[in-house]
Amino acid sequence: MDDITALILDDHAAFRRGFARLDDARDEQEMLAIWDALALHLDIHAEAEEAILYPHLVKHGDDGEDETADAIGDHNKIRDAIAEAKLHPVGSDQWWEAVGTARRENSEHLAEEEDEALPDFRRHASTELRAELGQRWLTFYGEHKNGRNLPFRDKDPQQYVADHR
């Protein structure tokens, strides 16, 4: 059974590849195809972490509350940039600007997650729990294929922490 942190790292690698592919897109059709899939994956990934990873980390991490509040704030910035991109024609200056913001915010966030939140999680989660959450992660993706029944709404970081601590 896959460990949840391995599944998360797989997604992170896919995000980096997705943004790199956008650099190589030569027309709007290509840009749209790459961006639509990437944006949806980014949005689902954030929801999955908020449903499965962070409720554990906020309770058990050494610095769980701060790491969680930071992560929710970062997810909000990424969500906002994705929503902003949807307001503009693909390939326009405003679209590239919003996509660039999503890329920058995401790169910063992945580094924090990989260097701080996930190490903290690994220190406190048993092998069994990591496998169980990995199973829930896969189920979540199955149940929310193409983002079905996910609102992709920003969450107040402090409220999220208060609700889950």
**Given its phi and psi angles, is residue 8 left (phi above 0), alpha (psi -120 to 50 degrees) or beta?**
alpha
Please count the CA atoms within 13 angstroms of the CA of 41 that sit on its side-chain side: 18
Residues binding Fe ion: what is the number (CB under 5 A)? 2
Q: How far is the CB of 143 from Fe ion (least distance, A)?
A: 19
Nearer to Fe ion, 28 or 135 (CB): 135
Nearer to Fe ion, 9 or 131 (CB): 9
Q: How far is the CB of 6 from Fe ion (least distance, A)?
A: 12
Among 43, 47, 49, 67, binds Fe ion (CB under 5 A): 49
Cα 125 to Cα 121: distance, rounded to the nearest angstrom: 6
Q: How far is the CB of 44 from Fe ion (least distance, A)?
A: 11
105 binds Fe ion (CB under 5 A): no
Q: How far is the CB of 86 from Fe ion (least distance, A)?
A: 20
47 binds Fe ion (CB under 5 A): no
Q: How far is the CB of 82 from Fe ion (least distance, A)?
A: 13
3 binds Fe ion (CB under 5 A): no
- 40 close to 71: Cβ distance less than 8 angstroms: no
| Nearest in space to 5 (alpha carbons), one of 103, 126, 104 | 126
Cα 39 to Cα 28: distance, rounded to the nearest angstrom: 15
Stretch 106-145: interaction string toward Fe ion, x if CB under 5 A: -------x--------------------------------
Nearer to Fe ion, 49 or 120 (CB): 49
Residues that bind Fe ion (CB under 5 A): 49, 113
